[in-house]
Chains A and B, each alone.
Chain A
Amino acid sequence: MRSARTGSIKGLAEVPTALGLIERKLIVPQGGNVSEPVTLTVFSDYV
């Protein structure tokens, strides 16, 4: 990880995420196959 505008700078690493906090959604694409997309959660601020 690099160049956060502030805060800690880390490498690709585990962060204390709580499984289940990330919402799960099913997507049914054309053709009828059911698959789940990965959720990318972006924490951000406007300043």
Chain B
Amino acid sequence: MRIEKLKTEHRLKIRLVHFPLHPDTPAEGRSLADLFAGRNLDLEALHAQMKARMDAEGLPYGERARTYNSRLAQELGKWADTQPGGEAIHDAIFRAYFAEGRDISQPAVLLDVARQVGLPIDAAREVLDKRTFKDAIDADWKLSREYGVTGVPTFVAGRYGVVGAQPYDELVQLVQKAATEGDGR
């Protein structure tokens, strides 16, 4: 992935901030047709476009009909970052949703994903049951508002930012600009 390559080739510290893309998604999820209603979008064309992009990156991408509330997934992901090797959960959650179409709002699904990446299940269950990372995600959402973020992914280095899937060279440019000005640390 681009970020991993960036991290390897440049002196870079990556910080993931969880952003609420569709925070009002109900517990049962929402169909993509409903989500994009009124925007005059061709969902099949959008899917094909995304599929081509993911294929080019060697990433799995399947058919999706629904979106789900990601709040609990974010809380679990935030906790996972505190665990050894826990960052693997991010790709695993993306894969569960984008490739397998699983309902990542469901604790059982999230626990299964946590198990797949070797995280301690009892601790993961406690995070979901007791919402122990609720405040941490609230803080991420607050930070997103302060930065004026409106879409994902958004990349910020120093005083500069770019939104959307970016060519690798543009991310390099962003990082180098911040490094040159000495304000990206």
Contact = CB atoms under 8 A, between A and B. Distances in A.
B21 A6 contact: yes
Contacts of B174: 12, 40
Given A38-B175, A43-B149, A44-B153, A1 B159 contact: no
A45 B13 contact: no
B155 A14 contact: no
Range for the number of chain A residues in contact with chain B: 35 or more
A45 to B, nearest CB: 4
A1 to B, nearest CB: 4
Interface string A28-47: 00000001111111111111
B104 A7 contact: no
A24 B147 CA distance: 17
A1 B149 CA distance: 13
B61 interface: no
Contacts of A18: 146-147
Contacts of A36: 185
Given A15-B156, A19-B159, A40 B6 contact: yes
A5 B67 CA distance: 13
Contacts of B15: 22-23, 39-42
B170 to A, nearest CB: 7
Contact of A38 (B152, B158, B163): B158
A47 to B, nearest CB: 5
B163 A47 contact: no
B183 interface: yes
Interface of B: 3, 6, 10-22, 25, 53, 67-68, 70, 73-74, 77, 90, 93-94, 97, 104, 143-144, 146-166, 170-171, 173-175, 178-179, 183-185
- CB-CB nearest 10 A-B residue pairs: A7-B151, A7-B150, A4-B151, A15-B161, A4-B164, A38-B184, A45-B21, A43-B154, A37-B11, A1-B163
Given A4-B152, A44-B153, 10 more contacts: A4-B163, A5-B151, A7-B151, A9-B151, A15-B147, A21-B147, A22-B184, A25-B185, A40-B175, A43-B155
